[in-house]
Amino acid sequence: MRYTFGISDEILQMKVDEELRNIYYYHLKIIRIAKEISESYRVRFCGGFLQLYGVCYIPMIMTFKPLLHQIEMVMVFTVAFVFYVVTLVVFYDMGQAYEDKISAIYDALHNVDWYTWSSKNRKVYILLLERIPVTESLAISLNEKVNRNFLIKYVSLLAKVKFLANIIRISDVFQDLLYNEQFGSHF
């Protein structure tokens, strides 16, 4: 026995077609905005500057420490550090929100019951599933992904820089001690 489409089924197929088109246009709008952001030299430059600032922050503290009084140093570097952390969190959360949106669209499409749809709607559905990549993300600087995974890698790099800066500072202290021990203090 052959199944024929009824009026309610035709209305359902039209609504499904309309929703698939809405999802497609929404996806295109998100991708268009992300492409404008990723291709903007200002955003890439700001992201690269933000990363460079974070890497140079600890050596800057060590360089300017002898020049500033204790209170001035704490105030200046606290304000700079708070600005840096807030900007960093906002920047990387923006990239993570984009990835979450794309993943939500893909998951919503992937979990749809499409078995009763017409062949035209099934073809559109399959094209949408192929078109929406799960791994799409924003990029800054020299094509670095902006998401929380990269933020963790970046913070671990900052921790390594701090560790290296501490080793250099300790080696300078030991060199001063050895020099004073060898040649004596002439004060």
96-105 pLDDT tens trace: 888 888 888 8
Residue 50: half-sphere exposure toward Cβ, Cα within 13 Å:
25
Residue 22's pLDDT band, with cuts at 50, 70 and 90, is: confident
**Whether residue 143 has pLDDT greater than 70:** no
Q: In terms of residue numbers, what domain contains 120?
A: 7-183
Residue 2 in any domain: the answer is no
Residue 62 in any domain: the answer is yes
Q: Number of structural domains, the chain?
A: 1
Residue 165 in any domain: the answer is yes
Residue 163 in any domain: the answer is yes
Mean pLDDT over 74-80 rounds to 75
For the chain, the average pLDDT equals: 76
